[in-house]
Amino acid sequence: MTDQQNPPPRRTPLAGVHEALGATMTGFAGWLMPLRYGSETAEHVAVRTAAGLFDLSHMGELMVTGEGAAGALDYALTGQASAIKPGRARYTMICAPDGGVLDDLIVYRLAETEYLVVANASNAATVAAELTERASGRGATVTDRTDDFALIAIQGPRAAGILAGLTDISLDDVRYYASYPARVAGRQVLLARTGYTGEDGFELFTAPDDAAPLWAALTEAGSGPGLVPAGLAARDSLRLEAGMPLYGNELSREITPFDAGLGRVVKLDKPGDFVGKAALAARSSAKPERVLVGLTGQTRRVPRHGYPVLWEGEPCGAVTSGAPSPTLGKPIAMAYLTAAAAAGAQAAGATAEGLAVDIRGRAEPARMVPLPFYKRPADT
Amino acid sequence: MSVPEELYYTAEHEWVAISETTARIGITDYAQRALGDVVYVTAPAPGTRVTAGDPCGEVESTKSVSDIYCPADGEVTEVNPEIDEDPGLVNSDPYGAGWLFKVRLDSGDQLPPGLLSPAEYTALTADQQ
């Protein structure tokens, strides 16, 4: 193994903060990231009941600017970027010509001719290259600004209350999937009401040098309300409970948005052509061969990524993500099943026998349940 | 990381406390830290014959599952009754209340072969960090 093949992981502007907190650090998509600070289950529960603070500075930030930015993104992505109002954001995908998912993205329209595209760390380079190529000749410039941004998320039912005391803007005016330039603890940020936990919460894009002071200010403001730092382990179990896909698990080059039950992000009737349109149009009207479903384990053994799913004793699919759910108190999993098996399990009813996960050689009974596993209580 | 002086260890991160002809077995502090929160333990039932080096149970944590390898030949005499109800004991007290099972040793009151001293185990984990 040479250094060239295996470069040292990149450090976020907050890596030293995590180390000082005693975090267990892990390599993730080429970055050194906090996996957990103490108990990941306690971090998970804190986000559900109070609030958690996350370092997401590994995410890719790509700026798309110019008179043709809206048109270029309409062509490059499955969603209709031109229909996003300035100050709003959308969840969308970038697909290959055959309809396979290259990444799932959040696109923020910052101004008429300025978009911020947030990509998964593992795909940021691919997305940057694809966007650059697809924008070429369309009057738009794509710039990889990942190194210019730190990203801090504060998530949980008490996130708004903690943040409100530190900012000059009224958070009541910041709707879900909206973003505003704001000052938080005296630092300039782009404040967005987005997240990946199933809770209310905010993501703060800021200059790298402002990340540590912001983290400290949020930590202090949150000390009374129960804010804790939360690592990637909690982030993964939170998003799984919320039924949100993870690229590399539920999404990949071999999966179309329709397979993942996310056909709603494909805007087939937007004006003009877009990459993958023909293939995706065909997929939208075809019967899906596989279906993404939710499973709960009926024993305490946990279905994990890659484990076979059995319907009436026969393999019918595979688990994409699985974990013990702190909120439900039992194992949960997402899995791709053949359409026939999913329909069979559905028709047989929620308590039907016949569905199982092969957990290291033993068939453990499972139930098919609607996604998401967890939905936050409605605002009162 | 804690490596008590009075215990023996395996390269698979079990610890062994030997008292006359019985071994009490658990996983080390290093192992519980690497695993994260333990949610479920499958230990071999009393009466099971176990063979040194063979997997004889599993420790399930939030992110992964790991085999428990039996450190010595013998017969299982007892399983920690608290662990099923509170698997988090493996995290909070790995060398105490978080013990997993006991084995009557085939070697009798002789030390079973192949175990590591505290110094050897400390060196092993230092290499893995």
Is any Cβ of chain A less than 8 angstroms from the Cβ of B92?
no
Are A302 and B36 a contacting pair at CB < 8 A?
A: no
Q: How far apart are CA B83 and CA B79, in angstroms?
A: 8
Cβ density class A319-336: b for 16+ within 10 Å, e for less: bbbbbbbbbeeebbbbbb
pLDDT tens, position by position, A292-310: 999 999 999 999 999 999 9
CA-based torsion, B45, B48, B52, B54: positive or negative: negative
CA-based torsion, A325, A240, A27, A20: positive or negative: negative
**How many C-beta atoms lie closer than 10 Å to residue B22's C-beta?**
15
Q: In what order do the strands lie in the sheet with A179-184?
A: A179-184, A187-192, A201-206, A150-155, A51-55, A227-229
Mutation pick from B60, B61, B63 vs chain A, by most beta carbons of A within 10 Å, is: B63
Are A40 and B36 a contacting pair at CB < 8 A?
A: yes
pLDDT for res B94: 98
pLDDT for res A40: 97
Q: How far apart are CA A242 and CA A237, in angstroms?
A: 9
Contact A200, A156 (CB under 8 A): yes
pLDDT class of A347 with cuts at 50, 70, 90: confident
- CB contacts < 8 A (A, B): 39
The DSSP-derived string for A213-267 is HHHHHHHHHHTTTTEEE--HHHHHHHHHHTT---BTTTB-TT--TTTTT-GGG--
Are B36 and A360 a contacting pair at CB < 8 A?
A: no
The whole-number average pLDDT for the span A65-94 is: 98
pLDDT tens, position by position, A124-156: 999 999 999 999 999 999 999 999 999 999 999
DSSP state of A82: G
Q: How far apart are CA B8 and CA B25, in angstroms?
A: 10
Q: Which residues of A fall within a CB distance of 8 Å from B64?
A: 304
Among B37, B40, B64, the residue with its CB nearest the CB of A39 is B37
Is any Cβ of chain A less than 8 angstroms from the Cβ of B22?
no
Q: Which residues of B fall within a CB distance of 8 Å from A41?
A: 37, 62
Are B36 and A301 a contacting pair at CB < 8 A?
A: no
Q: How far apart are CA A345 and CA A342, in angstroms?
A: 5
DSSP state of A88: B
Are B64 and A39 a contacting pair at CB < 8 A?
A: no
Q: Across-strand partners of A323?
A: A332
pLDDT tens, position by position, B31-86: 999 999 999 999 999 999 999 999 999 999 998 999 999 999 999 999 999 999 99
What is the overall mean pLDDT for chain A? 95
Is any Cβ of chain A less than 8 angstroms from the Cβ of B108?
no
Q: How far apart are CA B24 and CA B40, in angstroms?
A: 19
Q: Which residue has the tokens 């250094």?
A: A3
Contact A200, A137 (CB under 8 A): no
